[in-house]
Amino acid sequence: MEWLCVILTKYANRFAICSGGCRGMLNEDKIRLMNDIAVFEKKEGKSARPAERYFKNDFIAKHMMQSFFAFTFCYLLVMIIAVLYNMEQIVSTVNVTDVVGMAKKTIVFYLTGLFLFELITWTVYRRKYDEAVRVRKVRIEKLNRLKKRYEFQEKAKELMKEGGRNA
């Protein structure tokens, strides 16, 4: 969609001043519209990117994958601290069943935490994608309005020319 915006903006910049009924006059209506689009692009353009680059499921899956690695890494860091904190207890534990019990606990905590974190990620990025779709829709509407404005002007120009020839 960005290419359309760039083309329209360039086109608009070239013709906004010299078109619009009378030559040499600024077309305020069109300038306002283009300015509106440019400001919107600057403020909200970033949040529309996911909707332009990914399908919804791909976008969510990508972030869920990232969350998996982030959570696993953080869990390992927490485990380092936990091991350092309980070092004496671990060293004194000679019983194999206790070690197996601790390992089971660790895995259960990891899986529960991972499930919750993935759930949060899924919710957050689903919402982000929906928001991106909304922003994209608004932008397309604005661009369409600008496009219609140009079409109207072109037609008006042609009619003026025809009128001049007939006269």
Partner 1 sequence: MLNLLVLRSKLKSFYGKYNVFIVPAVKFAFVLCALLLLNKNIGYMKMLKNPFVPVILSLICSVMPFGGICWIISGFMLMHIYAVSSEMTLVMVIFLMITALLYYGFQPGDSWILILTPMMFAFKIPYVVPVLVGLSCGMVSVVPVGCGIVLYYMLSYVKKNAGLLTNDAAMDITQKYMQMINGIVSNKTMLLLIVAFAVTIIVVFLIRNLSLDYSWIIAVITGLVALLVTVLAGDFLFGISVAVSPLLTGILIAAAVAVVYIFMVFNVDYTRTEYTQFEDDDYYYYVKAVPKITVSVPERRVQRMNRQKHTENEGKEQ
Q: Are 142 and 38 in contact (CB under 8 A)?
A: no
103 touches partner 1 by CB under 8 A: no
67 touches partner 1 by CB under 8 A: yes
Q: Are 19 and 1 in contact (CB under 8 A)?
A: no
152 touches partner 1 by CB under 8 A: no
Closest CA to 60 of 125, 143, 3: 125
Tell which one of 1, 18, 39, 78 touches partner 1 (CB under 8 A): 78
Query: Where does residue 51 fall: left (phi above 0), alpha (psi -120 to 50 degrees), or beta otherwise?
Result: alpha
How many Å is the maximal CA-CA distance in the chain?
107
73 touches partner 1 by CB under 8 A: yes
Q: How far is the CB of 33 from partner 1 (least distance, A)?
A: 22
Binding mask 117-146 for partner 1 (x = CB under 8 A): x--xx--x----------------------
Q: Are 137 and 51 in contact (CB under 8 A)?
A: no
Tell which one of 23, 24, 88, 167 touches partner 1 (CB under 8 A): 88
Distance (Å, rounded) from C-alpha 74 to C-alpha 16?
Answer: 55
Task: List interacting residues with partner 1 (CB under 8 A).
Answer: 66-67, 70-71, 73-74, 77-78, 80-81, 84-85, 87-88, 117, 120-121, 124
